Structure 1
Amino acid sequence: MPSLPWQKRLRALIIWGGLAVGSSAFCLVMLQALFGRQLEQLQTIQLGRELALNVRLTELALERYPPHLVAELTGLDLEVAVRPKPASLPPSAAFKRQADALQQQLCQRLSHCPMVLPDRAARGERRVWIELISPLEPIWLRVDVPSMMRWPPEPTLLGLSLVGAGVICGGLFLLIEVEAPLRGLEKALSRVGEGEDPDAVPARGAPEVQRLTQRFNAMVQRLAQNRRERATMLAGIAHDLRAPITRLQFRLSMPQLSADERERCAGDLQSLERITGQFLLFAGGGDSETSVEVPLDQLLAEVASSHPADQLQLQLASIGLSVKPVALGRAVANLIDNAFSYGASPVILKLHAIEDRCCIDVWDQGEGMPVQQWTEALQPFHRLDSSRGQQGHCGLGLAIVAHVARLHGGQLECLYPEPGGTTPGTFAIRLSLPLPMRQSEIGSSQI
């Protein structure tokens, strides 16, 4: 049974509260370890100043009154003895050092240098015995010496520890509740930018980050639904076109039509077949196809086999690469068809490697297209020339090629001959795919 929101908040509050207390204690211990010696010196100086005044006043009072009366009137812990009883626990080295420092302070402020003996009780209390000057009998004054590790701690250390705990908890909160969920959201967003459909990102972290994650998941679902609806629509259109195409083919087989009419109808059928194929390819897009290792030169030679050798020339380097062969073959076939439809023959299909890229260039001898119209040409259903629709073009050719390039992590660009350079044509479209490191090194050495 999932936890209720208030239960989650209570659990988070308990966890962060415990973390804050633990961080505060950790900072307090670290500050005492780092600055305990300096604070101990300041404490010893302050305690020596106060004890010097008490010792002087007590010695003056002992000149006129007995020790028990002075102790009763002043509340001081006085003991009449030649030497106090030894401590039940041996004092630590740090306590001895502090007692010696306290003795030095008293020697500087009094006319004589009293003896100071450290004393440590069984419960851990730290005390010192201070020898007093008395006219009749030896008297010792016992004084508590506070420890730097006592509770409550010094206000300065306590305040600094609270500040340190706030910084630690704030940093951990940003790291755990904000930065980590945002990093997962960033990865999912990058996958969406690459055209993938990531799984729903778990809504965790701060409430603001959870709301952002929920809206992101809703956006991804809407995008996936839109793509499914688009694929269904295009597939439906293509399927509906198949029936009249079949009927036209059947009628063309009848002997009543003249040769000219039969030729015109056959051209229209080819245009319809081409449009239908483009719709089907754009609807599927090759997203579900599995990548396999294939020799690209053989794949491209098979794609170009339907064209005469004098009109389509091949310049193919021997390169093997893991690709989606059906989608890539249809994309290259689109580029070749566009070159024949809008350019001039001969068309040159060139396969070569440049650094870490495998480049498929389709050159023709036509005028090409203006550079400023390249972005528009990549848009689906966009035709730069309105008359192209009469040739069986629906404005999906380059959009399909660009989609296939993105599926392979590549890119699509247009090329123009450089002044003074040697190129096999006047205009080309390049489909470049990333090469693995080993193959890019081999290709570079071949070049």
Structure 2
Amino acid sequence: MTLRLRLLLAFGFLSVITAVAVAGAGYVRARDAIVQRAQDNAVVEITNRVEQLYPLPARPLSAAALERIAGRVSGRTDGVVAYGNGLSAGGMDTSVITPELRGLVSSGRVGWQRVQYSDSVWLVVGMQLRLNSGEPSGVEVYVLRPFTSETAFVGELAQNAWLIGGAGLVLALGLGFLAARGVLRPVRELQLAAWQLGQGDLTARVPVRGRDELASVATTFNSTASSLEHHVGELRRMEADARRFVADVSHELRTPLAAMTAVTDVLDAETASLPGVAGQAARLVNRETLNLTRLVNDLIEVTRFDSGTAALALDDVDVAEVVLSCLRMRGFSAEVTASLPEGVRARLDPRRLDVIVANLVGNALRHGSAPVSVALSVDGAFLVIEVADSGPGLSPEVLPHVFARFYKADSARGRSEGSGLGLAIAWENARLHGGTLVAANRAGGGAVFTLRLPLDGEV
């Protein structure tokens, strides 16, 4: 449920409760006052009519006398009945006289009661006539008069109460909508600015209006965004400096490394004629010089990816030939089982595919166990190459970081001789092609790396 809907429901609920409380209380009080006044007026009117009958004769009244009493008490719309000496007179329906009202009148008091009669509300008023001496005459008079006008007025009052309540509800919903709009506008602006900030727009800010809590939140957000922009700018500057430093150092090392490689190649050719310790030292220097050369070349390649200067040299190639050439050039053919169907052609950069395959197979041979397999297939519009080993596989702690730069899972998979950049470079080359490189564990044991590249070379 949205915040706007919750606010509207809250305003609506509050307005309904308020309207019911105010209009209901006013309706009840007005209804009671109207009914009470109507009853009082009716009782006073009928009492005045009865007082015109005095003085009453002391002798027992006859049926004719009761008829005269009923006629003099009745009005144009009233029904009257008079009881006395076991006789009754008048045209009133006596079924409307309840036992409670009859008992009250018999005790000598004036009584009245609202009753349902002829599909409407009527008022029955009863009293006992007394002699001049104040003693009961034995005559009871009951008058039935309509309560229709008062009922209609009370109904109209209730209808007005409902209309006022409904109008109040509509007004409250309108005010709630305006209030929700006013409250939610800063929230929407804050949401938009947070989204822009999450998308990398560090200049996103929220307009500050007023001095309320939302303004305080907007001010805090702007302050946080400004601080974040400053820190991110510093981090980016430091990162750019670090990349530039790595690139400069790598390029500066290439010249002396070329000279060192030439010297170590000469030493390596003469190691057989050198005495024991000197030959071992020459071989060690040659091996470490080659490792340093690979590290410098890898660093230069990484700086190209970071600077965005890495580009594809696409060509229509036979994928099986590229993979077989990679395995032969690096001496992997005897250690790797290859399943490479002929006729699979793709538009890609053969040099970068060579780098990917070399890094994946070299990683499998160093860290996994034989046999290592390379399988080529086509899945729809994608070229798929799987490199699998039969080693212990990748631990759950290693899997999330396997393509991270300089990451070495030495404790999990033995001593690593690489730079820690091979898999990262392979992943970057796959991404540059618009493909993916995924690491996982096989069900039967061992790690498997799956490379997917588009066949048509479109990124």
TM-score, length-normalised on structure 1?
Answer: 0.49
Which of these two proteins has the greater Rg computed from alpha carbons?
Answer: 2
